[in-house]
Amino acid sequence: MMSGFSFEVLAQDAGTAARRGEFRTPHGNVSTPAFMPVGTQGSVKGVTPAQLAATRAQMILGNTYHLALRPGAEVVRNLGGLHGFMDWDGPILTDSGGFQIFSLRDRMSLTEEAATFRSHIDGSLVTISPEEAVRLQEALGSDVAMVLDHVVQLPNTQEKIREAMERSIRWARRCQHAATRDDQALFAIVQGGLDRDLRQFCAAELVALDFPGYAIGGLSVGEPPEAMYEVLDYTVPELPEAAPRYLMGVGRPLDLLEGIRRGVDLFDCVMPTRNGRNGMAFTTRGPVRVRNAKHREETRPLDETCPCEACRHSLGYLRHLFQAEEMLGPTLLSIHNLTYYQRLLAETRAAIEAGQLTAFIEQIVAGWEAGNDDRQQDSLQE
């Protein structure tokens, strides 16, 4: 029996499936819907824990595969677990390595027993089975651990999608049987590509196993956004009302809003920091490409409504930092983007409580379209 965990729906939007909830964990509560910054290797790139906390981030994500390679899960455990290791006292979720089955498929071989990777660091072989994925995450000490699943690229053949979905169910059972910590919640992951029957079958099988939370995985891997929204339309209703729902690896602001509209509670993505490092900022006026020459003598900040460190400076100064290749530039834009995401989610929670989510989304999208001339906000997705 888990200790220290609960999830409660506090408000429901009047016209959509969106809900405002509270996810309670041993390391603090998370107001949902929530966005989790990605700290793959025990660090949200370029941002200190204090700076991260100042963005109002509530919960962050680490990656089991990468941390197992370097410095090793046992090293992290001996240095205080992931919370002590990276000096983050809030909730942490760890991905199991399932995404690497997709992203590192050229360096990976797969059997029913496990996935074996050739390390991108030194070429050594690393085998992660469902049981090993759980053992590693228990050593890391995250609040939420994910089952090991089989992620495939989309589009793909029906045979491969079905095979991966069925393996994900079998692996979820093995992970559940291997779990020993009562202070770590194990979330299942629904697979099935873009196939309604497969998604609903997978959801039913996993719900029958009674996990404390459920993720929707295998999306944002090549399919158009509209196809992802359709999957959410018929998958989310199959998941329990009393458990948090997590859409993995999805991070465009519009996709967050569309996921929330459909009843998703948790999100993660590298977009805020990756785009920030590459000179692109999210703002209430839409995306701003800081390197653009037209910003050379711009005196206004990135976003007049934003309280972050980056917005204390002129846009012209931020452009200078990138042109001069000063490391402060990527750090400031990463902080800004993380702040933007947390502000967007906080405002979304308030809109749900007021029963006005649809009007809020229309207002946000209108602001992006009316105020921006630096297009292509999705060009740097993971």
Contact call for residues 37 and 268 (beta carbons, < 8 A): yes
**Which residues are marked as active site?**
95, 268
Query: How far is Cα 149 from Cα 146, in angstroms, rounded to an integer?
Result: 9
Tell me the HSE value of 308 on the side-chain side, using a 13 A CA sphere: 31
Amino acid at 114: A
Contact call for residues 2 and 28 (beta carbons, < 8 A): no
> What b/e sequence results for 180-204 when a residue is b if at least 16 CB atoms lie within 10 Å of its CB, and e otherwise?
ebeebbbbbbbbbbbbeebbbbbbe
Tell me the HSE value of 116 on the side-chain side, using a 13 A CA sphere: 8
Compute the chain's Rg from CA coordinates: 20
Query: How far is Cα 298 from Cα 232, in angstroms, rounded to an integer?
Result: 41
SS3 116: strand
Question: Smallest Cα–Cα separation from 338: which of 29, 31, 38, 25?
Answer: 38
